[in-house]
Structure formats: C-alpha cells, structure tokens
C-alpha cells in the first residue's frame, strides 16, 4: 500500500473523523456531526422530561400573559402611567408602536374594534404570536426542537411593512391608522 487509500495503519493515512474538531473534513469522510449508523454509533441523547421541555414555552407565555395582565389593569389612556413615545413627543410623528399599549388594553378587555383602531399592526402581531406559541407548545410536547429559520427576505418584508405602516399612518389619508 502506498498510504493514499486511507487504510488503517498505512503510511500517510487520514486520522479518524473524531480527531478533526472544528477543522476541515477530508474528502470521502463524513463530518463529525453526521448521523452515524452501525454498531459503533453513539447512543441517542436521552429524552428530556415533559416538564423540562415545556419550561421555555410556558415561561415565555407566562411572561407575556403577565405583561398583558398589567396593561389590562393599568389603563394607558390615563396620562402619567406610561412614558410618552419619544418620537411622537419630539417630532409629532407616530412610530409603528404608537398606540400599542392602548391596543393591548382594548384587546385584553375584548374590544377588538378599539384595539384595531389604536394599532392594527399590533393586533396582527398578537395573532402571529399566538400561532407561534401554539406551534412551540405542540413541538415541545412531542419532543421536537423549535427552530425558526427565517429568511432575510422575510425580515426585509417585515421592515417594508413597518415602514409603509408608519408612512401611511402619518399622512392625511391614513388618519384611520393613527392612534
């Protein structure tokens, strides 16, 4: 043997895949994170208990529910409870979040028309959040990891929608979107 066939013990043979941490993987060899099969495959990771899998989504849901409960209790329509939006205070322009607290307050009290009138984009966000939470909880119960792979095009689209919403709500013909 001339040592170029990768046979064990041959002069110039490539080391085992486990000895390439973080380095490039030579051609013809599987990367270290590939799923190995056969008698020498590593054991699967132990399944986490259901309570541990539900910890992150339930904690997130509890935090958001607490925030909505606070906003539902402390009325943002009464001055002095919350700070004024700096953009509105210094420029007189509505940002995409202006009216969000009033929208959340109306939403908590079941007044959907008032919530849409205060900030329609926030109400859409509540719906998106609810869908993501349901998916996260279902995946946690099933033991599947939650991975959100969002393309840059979607982020650019979200930014464009926010910019357009901000522009339209500050123009005279878009006064219905102003809080």
100: left (phi over 0), alpha (psi -120 to 50) or beta: alpha
Which regions of the chain does DSSP assign to beta strands (E)?
none
CB atoms within 10 A of CB 61: 16
pLDDT higher than 70, residue 138? yes
**Could you read off the pLDDT of 36-68 as tens digits, one per residue?**
666 777 776 667 788 888 899 999 999 999 999
pLDDT at 62: 95
**Region 65-75: what's the mean pLDDT?**
94
Q: Is the pTM of this model over 0.75?
A: no
């Amino acid at each position: 043997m001339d040592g170029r066939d990768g046979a064990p013990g041959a002069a110039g043979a490539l080391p085992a895949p486990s000895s390439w941490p973080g380095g490039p993987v030579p051609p013809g060899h599987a990367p270290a994170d590939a799923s190995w099969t056969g008698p020498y495959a590593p054991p699967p990771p132990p399944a986490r208990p259901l309570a541990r899998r539900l910890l992150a989504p339930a904690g997130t849901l509890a935090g958001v529910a607490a925030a909505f409960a606070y906003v539902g209790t402390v009325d943002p329509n009464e001055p002095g409870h919350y700070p004024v939006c700096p953009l509105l205070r210094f420029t007189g322009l509505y940002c995409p979040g202006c009216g969000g607290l009033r929208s959340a307050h109306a939403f908590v009290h079941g007044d959907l028309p008032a919530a849409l009138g205060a900030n329609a984009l926030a109400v859409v966000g509540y719906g998106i959040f609810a869908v993501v939470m349901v998916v996260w909880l279902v995946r946690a119960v099933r033991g599947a990891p939650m991975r959100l792979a969002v393309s840059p095009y979607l982020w650019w689209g979200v930014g464009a929608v926010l910019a357009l919403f901000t522009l339209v709500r500050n123009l005279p013909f878009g006064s219905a979107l102003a809080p």
